[in-house]
Amino acid sequence: MLIRSAGPTDLRSSEITPESLYLSRREWLAAAGLTVGAIVGVGALLPRDAAAQQASGKPYGLQADDKPTPWEDVTTYNNFYEFGTNKDDPAELSRGFKPRPWSVKVEGLVKKPGNYAIDDLLKPSVVEDRIYRHRCVEAWSMVVPWRGIMLADVLKRAEPTPGAKFVEFTTLYDPSRMPGQRYPVLRWPYAEGLRLDEAMHPLTLLVSGVYGRDLPNQNGAPLRLVVPWKYGFKGIKSIVRIRLTDTQPATAWNVSAPDEYGFYSNVNPTVDHPRWSQAKERRIGEFLRRPTLMFNGYANQVSSLYAGMDLRKNY
């Protein structure tokens, strides 16, 4: 392989450690020779246990032992084929990439299409900090503190027409700035898609930051998608176009290997990848593997989206 809810879901920014504290903690940790994930105080980012999350109305699917993956791992262990197929390629080969100025075209079956500068796209919405679990199809996982807005805010402003059923996303195509695109690893530009109700779900984010900072280049600057109940390759990066359509869009990995990567790509431990089991995962920074959770632990929030569907056929 080349890959290489019922109930409120809002989490106030004030309930997440602010950027200034992230940065000061990292400076202290660097002096002490530690990583961000090693400090006990980072645990304050997380509710004490899953029951507390449900009681507080913040069902983000985190487990009692979920700890944020250290900044160093979040920003150096990446899949971003536009900058290379090795895990460390994106951090190394994206250093000269300049993600500003940037614009995103919103088009298709909407009443109010437009080409938006990124700040205009984000400004009218509430920017939130949310910690999400992430599961890669390669059977590794992370816990990441993202900063972003609900995709639903952007789509509502564009006013989808009654015929809109899917949302297609497209990554920047510029081989001069993204050296991985000089090779036919995938069909460029990278494209992904969601059903409209998945895109409108309050857990689905357009992300512009991580750990209280602007997104680094290797993590998809300046704007990426995060859908925490799906495998990581659904999280398209460096988005330049959002198009609403009445037909299911072609997606990069489904086009490349349709028997391995389905359109839905929901985390389902009972459906193995053709070449390995998905029943367990390795959390970055941990030695032992842990059981993979249905919908990556977000079943209470999203399983109703797939009521009556054959989740083996619609993988």
pLDDT for 134-145, tens place per residue?
Answer: 999 999 999 999
Cα(159)–Cα(111) distance, integer angstroms: 5
Mean pLDDT score, 96-121: 97
The per-residue pLDDT for 61 is 66
The per-residue pLDDT for 60 is 62
The per-residue pLDDT for 46 is 40
Mean pLDDT score, 93-105: 97
Pairing of strands 213-214, 205-210: antiparallel
Mean pLDDT, the chain, integer = 85
Mean pLDDT score, 206-233: 97
Q: Which domains does the chain have, with CATH numbers?
A: 13-306 (3.90.420.10)
Inform me whether the pLDDT recorded for 199 exceeds 80: yes
Of 281, 265, 261, residue with least CA distance to 138? 281
Q: How does residue 43 score in pLDDT terms, banded at 50, 70 and 90? A: very low
Alpha helices in 47-117 (DSSP H): 50-55, 71-74, 89-93
The per-residue pLDDT for 63 is 79
Query: Structure pTM?
Result: 0.83
Mean pLDDT score, 18-47: 37
Inform me whether the pLDDT recorded for 48 exceeds 70: no
Mean pLDDT score, 187-209: 97
Mean pLDDT score, 287-308: 95
